[in-house]
Amino acid sequence: MVNRVNTLSIYVPKNKMTRRPVERLAKLAEAKERSINYLVVEAILQFLDREEKKK
């Protein structure tokens, strides 16, 4: 059984697909020698840190 507590799946809206987020993440991940997952988690953490400071 898969532990869904540590799993996150995202949906990219059609209108955002024109900005090619998945393709860009894949290219950046390769260039940085990191996984796409690593980049996404880092982006989420940076967003949370920034937004939580605004409270």
Smallest Cα–Cα separation from 21: which of 39, 8, 6, 33? 39
Give 3-28 pLDDT, tens digit per residue: 666 888 889 999 999 999 999 999 99
Q: Give the pLDDT score at 6.
A: 80
b/e for 11-39, b at 16 or more Cβ within 10 A? eeeeeeeeeeeeeebeeebeeeeeeeeeb
Q: Give the pLDDT score at 7.
A: 82
Tokens representing 20 are: 């090619």
In a domain, 4, yes or no: no
Euclidean distance between CA atoms 39 and 50, whole angstroms: 17
In a domain, 44, yes or no: yes
In a domain, 26, yes or no: yes
In a domain, 3, yes or no: no
Domain span at residue 35 reads 13-53
Give 24-45 pLDDT, tens digit per residue: 999 999 999 999 999 999 999 9
Instruction: Give how many domains the chain has, as a whole number.
Output: 1
pTM: 0.78
Q: Which residue is listed with tokens 């796409």?
A: 36
In a domain, 22, yes or no: yes
In a domain, 1, yes or no: no
